[in-house]
């Protein structure tokens, strides 16, 4: 099915199941420990061995030799596979760094060996016995120091943009702002480590893993192993968090496959936490410059956003300027991004790539501009709202209610009580309130599904879509139930298996809308098959109460299925509606903080997110997504920073003790409001994504609240007490 005209009335609009608050159908499995994650799979017919990785102790250079003699003779060791044994391999489409193979070291903790033993402890002990000789080379590890050598990426990756005449518009503006901001390297820090099990059967391999994108991984693993893609079965039905860190094939799957081949047994590999921080991907640091010129009444007449980030050679920029092209009006505009080569682990997608760090700068700059203009920060944003793409005025937004989000949020949060910076106190606590706009593009990915109707009347959905804790099982079940006129209890959902039709996968906020649209398309096929078998006119048929009806004739779905059952399979593909209309999601974040007047310690007191993101398929799972994103925003604002050893080239705080994510005690109260909205330009579901929108702007709202509390402006994240304490009031 191709979605190339705006959606009209369809079975989803009945809203008997879709849109209803429905608890996760996999919830009891997870809370009782019956959901099987990657490292936990157990087949009684397989003999399992355990692999432990060895990482490079340098950040750049070559491996001269690897001596595994002592490791191979250690108790319980079955084999040692080294990067020199494997030799150079083709790199997959979605990887920047080589995952394994060859003598070149591109970053610290790049995997260079795997020890396989009877037990995990034996493998770990033997790994420490491996001796490696290196030829170390000087590397570049500091973004600030590499800015002058940063280059413009290819236009297809990150083009410079210009509309109007920014230089003239900025020079002519009566009120201007020119400010620099920085965001640090950040880790996905998912609770479940990267883990895989591999088992070979002849020339075919099965891999149980933790992957957000089944087909991407399968293709890149086939490239690395130099085998046909059809020889790989990849399974990932449950994932304990990904946040973008499991979008692309990682070394645990590669090592498990190589180890299993070497010992002729199933091999389990889980990356230790320091490996996750230094071997896998991370969100790159940015240095950003924002310039805004406005008239005295607050109308932006010039806006520019430039950003610098770093990655390995051949890598990509962090697209931190993208939202600035679309969020606010302004006749004269420009954006630019530059990429520095850094010899750190690969920088790549982390929840809301681009918008998350970009809004950390832009939305603070908007607050600073509001202060210069003597305007309320919300009013400045409202004045500069636009209903068309500022660079292509002929291209309207399909739906845009940023103003509605801001105004409703202001009313619900008590914005009018905000006060001037540094004016509110409760005992030793300085109190502040901040706001930021939220913005994230609505991305669409082709997505397929297969839907079966059994003689028992049960609808079975099969798709390689994944569930990273987002509620995919539930919203897919709701979609099939709505389309086929049954209850959620009469739907079985099977996910995360490469034998199933290829889906959108989980990431980029595209998973929910795209995957349910794929299920919609497959259900349309199944409905047609049922109608055809019964001799019904498919345009008149009604599916409800587990029956199919046309006119005065009604048949149960069980009877319609018969002993053979019926199947519908299709893939939702996308036309050009996203080209004719800008499709985006919007929101507003409100935060109240307290800052200790003696120490500068910051505490978030309450948070509110108001989101306009099309039809909300399940308010319960959508709310969970947003409050989780808001929690990540607290970490990004106040504590999360991968500290770089700029001499040796690695992240020093490479575990969850040193890399501080927000915890329950940091989050006292959160509220989420979804505007009642549908977007027929987006999909037959009339939905959009919301899981990344909930993060966009949160950190800026916190930084703005801290300024309102203290009158101290911090432009370099995280906003830690050492950056505040020098500007706090004198105390006895």
Task: Give me the residue spans of the domains in the chain.
Answer: 2-35+444-575
The pLDDT of residue 532 is: 96
Cα separation, 478 vs 516, in Å, equals 9
- The alpha carbon dihedral of 725, 726, 731, 732 has a sign of positive
Query: Environment class of residue 463 by beta-carbon count within 10 Å: exposed (0-12), middle (13-18) or buried (19+)?
Result: buried
What value does the mean pLDDT take over residues 331-347?
Answer: 98
| Long-range Cβ contact pairs of 550-555 (< 8 A, separation 24 or more) | none
**Both tokens of residue 439?**
């913005």
Describe the chain by its helix, strand, coil percentages, rounded to 5: 30, 30, 45
- The pLDDT of residue 55 is above 80: yes
Residue 284: cis peptide before it, omega within 30 degrees of 0: no
Mean pLDDT, the chain, whole residue set: 97
- The pLDDT of residue 342 is above 70: yes
Cα separation, 671 vs 631, in Å, equals 12
The pLDDT of residue 538 is: 82
Cα separation, 140 vs 340, in Å, equals 9
By C-alpha distance, which of 702, 697, 585 is closest to 358?
697
Task: Provide DSSP, 8-64.
Answer: -S-GGGG-SSTTS----TTHHHHHTT-S--GGG---TTS-EEEEEEEE-SSSSEEEE
The pLDDT of residue 539 is: 84
The pLDDT of residue 64 is: 98
The pLDDT of residue 364 is: 99
Q: Which residues are catalytic?
A: 692
Task: Give the distance, in angstroms, between the CA of residue 647 and the centroid of all CA atoms in the same chain.
Answer: 31
The pLDDT of residue 270 is: 98
The percent of residues above 90 in pLDDT, for the chain, comes to 98
What value does the mean pLDDT take over residues 516-545?
Answer: 96
> What is the DSSP pairing of strand 650-651 with strand 644-645?
antiparallel
The pLDDT of residue 732 is: 53
Going by pLDDT thresholds of 50, 70 and 90, the confidence category of residue 605 is very high
Q: Are 588 and 359 in contact (CB under 8 A)?
A: no
In tens, the pLDDT along 12-37 reads: 999 999 999 999 999 999 999 999 99
Cα separation, 690 vs 650, in Å, equals 33
Cα separation, 200 vs 203, in Å, equals 7
Cα separation, 83 vs 478, in Å, equals 47
The size of the chain, in residues, is 732
Q: pTM above 0.95?
A: yes
By C-alpha distance, which of 85, 61, 71, 64 is closest to 132?
64
Cα separation, 336 vs 158, in Å, equals 8
Going by pLDDT thresholds of 50, 70 and 90, the confidence category of residue 731 is confident
Q: Are 318 and 286 in contact (CB under 8 A)?
A: yes
The pLDDT of residue 313 is: 96
Going by pLDDT thresholds of 50, 70 and 90, the confidence category of residue 646 is very high
The pLDDT of residue 730 is: 86
Q: Check residue 559 and report its DSSP letter.
A: H
In tens, the pLDDT along 134-156 reads: 999 999 999 999 999 999 999 88
- The pLDDT of residue 627 is above 70: yes
Helices 619-638 and 355-373: crossing angle, nearest 10°? Answer: 70
Cα separation, 100 vs 79, in Å, equals 17
What value does the mean pLDDT take over residues 368-378?
Answer: 98
| Long-range Cβ contact pairs of 420-428 (< 8 A, separation 24 or more) | 421/707, 421/708, 421/709, 421/710, 421/711, 422/709, 422/710, 422/711, 422/729, 424/709, 425/597, 426/594, 428/596, 428/597, 428/598
Task: Provide DSSP, 650-678.
Answer: EES--STTTS----GGG---EEEEE----
Question: Count of H helices and E strands in the chain?
Answer: 19, 32
Task: Give the distance, in angstroms, between the CA of residue 332 and the centroid of all CA atoms in the same chain.
Answer: 32
Q: Phi and psi for 331 in degrees, rounded to 5?
A: -70, -30
Q: Residue 382: helix, strand or coil by DSSP?
A: helix
By C-alpha distance, which of 86, 93, 129 is closest to 110?
86
Cα separation, 340 vs 1, in Å, equals 42
Q: Are 681 and 577 in contact (CB under 8 A)?
A: yes
| Domain 2-35+444-575 falls under CATH 3.30.365.10 | yes
**Both tokens of residue 645?**
């050893």
**Both tokens of residue 397?**
């937004």
Query: Environment class of residue 155 by beta-carbon count within 10 Å: exposed (0-12), middle (13-18) or buried (19+)?
Result: exposed
Angle CA 96–102–105, to nearest 5? 60
> What is the DSSP pairing of strand 542-544 with strand 131-136?
unpaired
């Amino acid at each position: 099915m191709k979605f190339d005209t705006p959606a009209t009335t369809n079975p989803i609009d009945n809203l008997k199941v879709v849109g209803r608050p429905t608890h996760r159908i996999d919830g009891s499995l997870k809370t009782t420990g019956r959901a099987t994650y990657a490292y936990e799979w157990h087949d009684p017919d397989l003999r399992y061995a355990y692999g432990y990785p060895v990482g490079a102790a340098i950040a750049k250079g070559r491996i001269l030799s690897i001596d595994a003699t002592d490791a191979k003779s250690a108790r319980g060791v079955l084999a040692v596979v080294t990067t020199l044994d494997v030799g150079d391999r083709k790199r997959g489409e979605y990887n920047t760094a080589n995952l394994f193979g060859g003598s070149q070291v591109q970053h610290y903790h790049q995997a260079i060996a795997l020890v396989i033993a009877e037990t995990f402890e034996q493998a770990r002990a033997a790994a420490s016995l491996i001796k490696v000789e290196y030829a170390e080379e000087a590397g570049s590890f500091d973004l600030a120091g590499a800015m002058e050598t940063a280059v413009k990426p290819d236009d297809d990756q990150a083009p410079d943009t210009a509309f109007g005449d920014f230089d003239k518009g900025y020079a002519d503006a009566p009120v201007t702002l020119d400010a620099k901001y920085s965001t640090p390297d950040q880790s996905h820090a998912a609770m479940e480590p990267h883990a895989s099990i591999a088992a070979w059967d002849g020339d075919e391999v099965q891999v149980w893993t933790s992957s957000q994108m089944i087909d991407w991984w399968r293709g890149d693993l086939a490239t690395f192993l130099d085998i046909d893609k059809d020889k790989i079965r990849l399974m990932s039905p449950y994932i304990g968090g990904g946040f973008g860190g499991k979008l692309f094939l990682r070394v645990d799957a590669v090592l498990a496959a190589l180890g299993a081949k070497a010992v002729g047994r199933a091999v389990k590999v889980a990356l230790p936490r320091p490996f996750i921080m230094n071997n896998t991907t991370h969100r790159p640091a940015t240095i950003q410059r924002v310039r805004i010129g406005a008239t005295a009444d607050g109308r932006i007449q010039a806006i520019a956003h430039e950003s610098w980030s770093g990655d390995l050679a051949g890598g990509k920029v962090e697209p931190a300027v993208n939202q600035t092209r679309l969020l606010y009006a302004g006749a004269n505009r420009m954006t630019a991004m530059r990429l520095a080569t850094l010899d750190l682990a690969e920088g790549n997608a982390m929840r809301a790539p681009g918008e998350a760090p970009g809004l950390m700068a832009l939305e603070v700059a908007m607050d600073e501009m509001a202060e210069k203009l003597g305007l309320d920060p919300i009013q400045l944003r409202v004045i500069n709202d636009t209903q068309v793409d500022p660079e292509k005025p002929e291209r309207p937004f399909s739906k845009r209610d940023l103003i509605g989000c801001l105004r409703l949020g202001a009313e619900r949060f008590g914005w009018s009580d905000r006060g001037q910076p540094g004016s509110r106190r409760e005992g030793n606590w300085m109190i502040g309130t901040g706001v930021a706009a939220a913005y994230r593009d609505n991305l669409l990915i082709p997505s397929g599904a297969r839907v079966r109707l059994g003689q028992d009347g049960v609808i079975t959905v099969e798709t390689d879509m994944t569930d990273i804790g987002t509620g995919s099982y539930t919203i897919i079940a709701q979609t099939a139930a709505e389309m086929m006129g049954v209850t959620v209890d009469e739907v079985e959902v099977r996910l995360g298996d490469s034998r199933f039709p290829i889906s959108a996968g989980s990431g980029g906020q595209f998973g929910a809308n795209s995957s349910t649209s794929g299920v919609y398309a497959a259900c349309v096929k199944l409905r047609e098959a049922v109608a055809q078998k019964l001799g019904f006119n498919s345009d008149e048929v009604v599916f409800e109460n587990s029956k199919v009806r046309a006119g005065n004739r009604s048949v149960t779905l069980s009877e319609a299925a018969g002993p053979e059952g019926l199947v519908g399979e299709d893939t939702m593909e996308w036309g050009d509606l996203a080209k004719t209309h800008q499709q985006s999601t919007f929101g507003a974040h409100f935060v109240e903080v307290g800052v200790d007047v003696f120490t500068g310690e910051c505490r978030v007191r309450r948070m509110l997110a108001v989101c306009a993101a099309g039809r909300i398929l399940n308010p319960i799972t959508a709310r969970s997504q947003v409050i989780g994103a808001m929690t990540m925003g607290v970490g990004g604002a106040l504590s999360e920073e991968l500290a770089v050893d700029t001499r040796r080239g690695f992240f020093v705080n490479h575990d969850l003790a040193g890399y501080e994510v927000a915890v329950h005690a940091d989050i006292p109260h959160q509220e989420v409001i979804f505007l009642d909205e549908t977007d027929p330009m987006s999909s037959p579901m009339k939905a959009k994504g919301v899981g990344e929108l909930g993060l966009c702007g949160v950190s800026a709202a916190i930084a703005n609240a801290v300024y309102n509390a203290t009158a101290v402006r911090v432009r370099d994240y995280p906003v830690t007490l050492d950056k505040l304490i020098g500007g706090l009031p004198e105390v006895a």
